[in-house]
Amino acid sequence: ISSKGTWIIALTKDITVDKDISLEGEFKNGKKDEKGNDIIQRKIALYAQDENRNVTARYTLTAPKLTILSPEASIVNGTFKGDIYVSAKDFQLIGTKVDGNVYFTNEEAKSTFKKDDKSTITGKTELKKE
């Protein structure tokens, strides 16, 4: 998922790939923070929603390995099957099941990671330098 794409990647069905994938690049989401600065964000949206932003379907992305290189990235409202390697700061899981492990390749990635109460990880969550 290249650095030349968009800030949001939205699935419209379950997808399985047999190659490792990487989320790369720094993206602005078009919004400003309270100081007027551009907000950095990258999101993999594993869901569909209606006009009122209610989740209407959840999807599964399956890959052997997903490497997170984009800062402020998140995976939202679905399932990822495989291992996630996080190298960027402020990665989040929101309403997401990870059917696999989450490895952090550096201390900053681990210390800034967040997951909400609706998110689960079936495997390990640990620092593992590549």
Domain residue ranges of the chain, discontinuous segments joined by +: 8-127
- DSSP annotation of 37: P
Cα dihedral 30→33→36→37 (10° resolution): -70
d(CA 26, CA 61): 22
pLDDT of residue 130: 62
Is the predicted pLDDT of residue 2 greater than 70, yes or no? no
Q: Return the closest-CA partner of residue 46 out of 69, 82, 75.
A: 75
| List of E strands, the chain | 8-10, 15-16, 21-23, 28-32, 38-40, 42-45, 47-49, 55-58, 60-68, 73-76, 79-86, 92-94, 97-99, 102-104, 114-115, 120-121, 125-127
What would the pLDDT profile of 80-125 be if each residue is shown by its tens digit? Answer: 999 999 999 999 999 999 999 999 999 999 999 999 999 999 999 9
pLDDT of residue 38: 78
